[in-house]
Copies of this chain bind each other. A is one copy, B any other.
């Protein structure tokens, strides 16, 4: 790649736009006094070294980057509850400013590592000075508990690359299960409170 700065510009633009777009959904729920399913939104462009490392690891030729690397532009939406993830996904499916190419539900079907998130690959048109350019971007939707686990797992992997014994990997996987059980417990508590409130309102 001759000029990474130039290559990454439309991806940076896409991340900036998508962050503003998804954050802008929050106040729309507040208006109707509804609980927003979106707790917070983050985004990043994959660092050049990580792109290069992935090209090598996956045997991807440089002229195939745009089609084969789907997560150069990445945006993450965090929710409070597991159900909120699917509500967010439904909202994303209705949008006309992007095209969904692929959905992978690692919430219901966790990865072997224990990782959970809902992944959506989109095609997103960025308006450049020279005209429209369509790029791929990955949207990850996850609960705060899934994000807690994934953040720590990623930073351990990054810092201690290569010293994960099978036993440690297993412990991390069990921690992911515990985080998910916590998610389910919080959902149940919400459901019970919701029912109690409905009961109270009926009796009033």
Contacts and interface: CB of A to CB of B under 8 A. Distances in A.
B97 A125 contact: yes
B152 A197 contact: no
Contacts of A91: 129
A159 to B, nearest CB: 6
Nearest to A185: B175
Contact of A6 (B31, B132, B147, B148): B31
Given A28-B9, A144-B144, A192 B168 contact: yes
Contacts of A171: 185, 189, 192
A160 B27 contact: no
A155 B96 CA distance: 31
Contacts of A145: 145, 148, 179
A28 B200 CA distance: 46
B197 A160 contact: yes
Contacts of A95: 127, 132
Given A127-B97, A193-B163, A16 B24 contact: yes
Interface of A: 3, 5-6, 9, 12-13, 16-17, 20-21, 24-25, 27-29, 31, 35, 39-40, 42, 80-81, 91, 94-97, 125, 127-129, 131-132, 143-145, 147-149, 151-152, 155-156, 159-160, 163-165, 168, 171-172, 175, 178-179, 181-182, 185-186, 189-190, 192-194, 196-197, 200
Report the 3 A-B pairs with minimum CB-CB distance, sorted nearest first: A144-B148, A13-B24, A163-B196
